[in-house]
Amino acid sequence: MSNNVRLRKTNLKYWYDRSFLHITRFFALSVLALTGLMLAKLIQGAWLSIRHFGWSFLTGSDWDPVFERFGALPFIYGTVVSSLLALLIAVPVSLGIAIFLAEIAPLWLYRPVSAVVDLLAAIPSVVYGLWGLFVLAPWVRSSLQPLLGRSLGFLPFFQGPPLGVGMLTAGLILSIMIIPIITAISREVIRAVPRYQKEAALALGATRWEMIRLAVLSNARSGIAGAILLGLGRALGETMAVTMVIGNRPEIALSLFAPGYSMASVIANEFTEATYDLYLSALTEIGLVLFGLTLLLNFLARLLIWKFGDVQVSGASE
């Protein structure tokens, strides 16, 4: 568009006009530069720890700042397990809502239900944590954990004393927090499936569910996978709510009832208390791993979603 009007280079207007283009271009380039700078600063901060520990940082399970021993495995384990647990709960629920909204709900129901699900994304993370600590955790301790212990107690995942705070509660609260993002993106992806595909299935005599299964889900598969990856990325980086309910104990326990620790939580709790350089550097390396992991997940997710055109991504993350 900027080529449409030709002004002479001697005209002051020309330079005024070009300068605006250059200003906006400068800020656009800054987005790339800031991302690069972020990566550089994190690597710089983590360098001491990378040099000192090498790969054993990621495989060591001993976290003892007093004796300068740093192994991040308990945090990686806690983050991964709580996030996968969250996906296990959130994916069926989100897909149910997304399909309902995109294919079944009439317009008068579509608007309010969408708004309510978006509202879940608007609630700040720290409020989720507050609710998790004082409402969800007591309920998990008094109802859910005894119930699971009685019915599925023969599995190693559901053994141990019911504490309330722990991996299970963290997974539950994360699942609630990632429902809006998975729902919103799968909803848009499903809506982008061509109408004639659906009509063809219906014309062949498919019931509504068969139409959804044959025409919609098979077409939207990769987009839904992208939505799930974005949800996973959000769960991995979620900080405050998890910190408040996961129990903050750097141990690897098979039981979901046991307290754990996550990568984001240990940064939140210990970063300001890190008293010497190696400690700070070890925490920064955890941040670097988190950054790399979420960057990769988001990259993959965007590649999967982009072919569906402009799918707006909303929702808060913390």
Considering only residues 219 to 238 of the shown chain, the ones binding another protein according to CB under 8 A are: 230, 233-234, 236-238
113 binds another protein (CB under 8 A): yes
Binding mask 283-302 for another protein (x = CB under 8 A): -x--x--xx--xx-xxx-xx
Q: How far is the CB of 122 from another protein (least distance, A)?
A: 5
Give 207's Cβ-side CA count (13 Å radius).
Answer: 1
Tokens of 79: 């983050």
176 binds another protein (CB under 8 A): yes
Contact partners, residue 172, CB within 8 Å, separation at least 6: 85, 86, 89, 136, 140
153 binds another protein (CB under 8 A): no
45 binds another protein (CB under 8 A): yes
Q: How far is the CB of 302 from another protein (least distance, A)?
A: 5
Tokens of 5: 């009007």
Name which of 172, 119, 82 is nearest 315 in CA terms: 119
Q: How far is the CB of 164 from another protein (least distance, A)?
A: 14
Q: Which residues of 102-134 are buried (b: 16+ CB within 10 A; e: fewer)?
A: bbebeeeeeeeebeebeebbeeebeebbebbbe
Tokens of 295: 């960057």
110 binds another protein (CB under 8 A): no
260 binds another protein (CB under 8 A): no
47 binds another protein (CB under 8 A): no
Chain positions 122 to 151 lying near another protein, rule: CB under 8 A, are 122-131, 133-135
- Nearer to another protein (CB atom), residue 55 or residue 312: 312
Contact partners, residue 295, CB within 8 Å, separation at least 6: none
Count of chain residues binding another protein (CB under 8 A) = 96
- The residue range among 58-66, 116-124, 157-165, 189-197 that interacts with another protein, by the rule CB under 8 A, is 116-124
- Nearer to another protein (CB atom), residue 185 or residue 256: 185
Chain positions 54 to 83 lying near another protein, rule: CB under 8 A, are none
Name which of 256, 267, 261, 315 is nearest 289 in CA terms: 267
**How far is it, in rounded angstroms, from Cα 234 to Cα 216?**
26
**Entry field: residues in the chain:** 318
